[in-house]
């Protein structure tokens, strides 16, 4: 199982230029989505055939505080005029959507808000995602960024054969 991480406070723009560079929509994303996007680039960037549309890959996102950092930015914008660009990212599952759009994954996507990182629960939910006959692999993200400059960001590429 491939595992990647992004250190808290790392320069995400530099990382984007190193890993991708061809997806300007990245700059519109909130920090949570940027983390999910970059973790996925690290996980599948080298895959042969990576942009081939596929239904057999699920995207599961786990977080403690979801998109609360962006929620605050959007809420601040309401004092003047509510910003549609910020509102879009007030959903924690937009991360899984961004990953699916970038990589053309039409498989199952989900986002869970957990009180604390809970390995047993994450394992159980990842196993459930493989219960259909379609799913053969899953991008699993733990991303939590209560602030824009401090976070936890871990990603895994789980394959059916890893489940044992």
Partner 1 sequence: MCISGCGVVSAIGVGRRETLLSLKEGRRGLAPARYLPTTHKDLPLGEVKRSNAQLKALLGIPESRVVSRTSFLAMLAVREAMQEAGELGVYRPAFISGTTVGGMDISEQMAPEERHPEQWDCGASSQAVADYFGCFSQVITPSTACSSAANALLLGARLIKAGRCDVVVAGGSECLSLFHLNGFRSLMIVDAEPCRPFDVTRAGLNLGEGAAYVVLESEAHALARGAKPQAYLDGWGNACDAYHQTASSPEGEGAFLAMTEALRRAGLKPADIGYINAHGTGTPNNDESESHALQRLFGAQLPPVSSTKGLTGHTTSASGSIEAVFCILALQNGFLPGNAGFSTPFEGGIVPIRESIPAPDVQHVLCNAFGFGGNDTSLLISKAL
CB closer to partner 1, 1 vs 101: 101
User: What is the distance between the alpha carbons of residues 143 and 148, in angstroms, rounded to a whole number?
Assistant: 12
Q: Which two tokens mark 2?
A: 């491939």
To partner 1, the closest distance from the beta carbon of 13 in angstroms equals 21
H/E element, 36: helix 31-44
CB closer to partner 1, 4 vs 88: 88
User: What is the distance between the alpha carbons of residues 83 and 22, in angstroms, rounded to a whole number?
Assistant: 26
CB closer to partner 1, 10 vs 125: 125
To partner 1, the closest distance from the beta carbon of 82 in angstroms equals 4
CB closer to partner 1, 5 vs 83: 83
User: What is the distance between the alpha carbons of residues 43 and 54, in angstroms, rounded to a whole number?
Assistant: 16
To partner 1, the closest distance from the beta carbon of 130 in angstroms equals 10
Instruction: Provide the β-strand partners of residue 4.
Output: 155
User: What is the distance between the alpha carbons of residues 62 and 142, in angstroms, rounded to a whole number?
Assistant: 5
Which residues would be at the binding site for partner 1 (CB under 8 A)? 53, 55, 59, 65-66, 68, 71-72, 74-76, 78, 81-84, 87-88, 90-98, 100-101, 103-115, 121, 124-125, 127-128, 131-132, 134, 146
To partner 1, the closest distance from the beta carbon of 4 in angstroms equals 21
To partner 1, the closest distance from the beta carbon of 139 in angstroms equals 11
Q: How many Å separate Cα 30 from the centre of its chain?
A: 11
CB closer to partner 1, 95 vs 153: 95
The residues, ordered by sequence, that sit 6+ positions from 51 with a Cβ below 8 Å of its Cβ are: 103, 104
């Amino acid at each position: 199982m491939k595992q990647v991480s992004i250190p808290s406070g790392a320069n995400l723009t530099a990382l984007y230029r190193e890993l991708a560079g061809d997806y300007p929509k990245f700059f519109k994303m909130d920090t949570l989505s940027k983390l999910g996007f970059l973790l996925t680039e690290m996980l599948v960037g080298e895959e042969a055939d990576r942009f081939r549309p596929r239904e057999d890959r699920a995207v599961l996102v786990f977080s403690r505080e979801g998109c609360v950092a962006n929620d605050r930015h959007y809420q601040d914008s309401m004092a003047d005029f509510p910003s549609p660009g910020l509102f879009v990212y007030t959903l924690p599952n937009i991360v899984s959507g961004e990953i699916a759009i970038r990589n053309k994954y039409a498989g199952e996507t989900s986002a869970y808000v957990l009180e604390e990182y809970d390995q047993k629960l994450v394992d159980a939910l990842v196993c459930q995602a493989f219960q259909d006959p379609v799913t053969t692999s899953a991008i699993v993200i733990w991303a939590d960024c209560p602030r824009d400059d401090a976070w936890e960001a871990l990603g895994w590429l789980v394959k059916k054969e890893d489940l044992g």
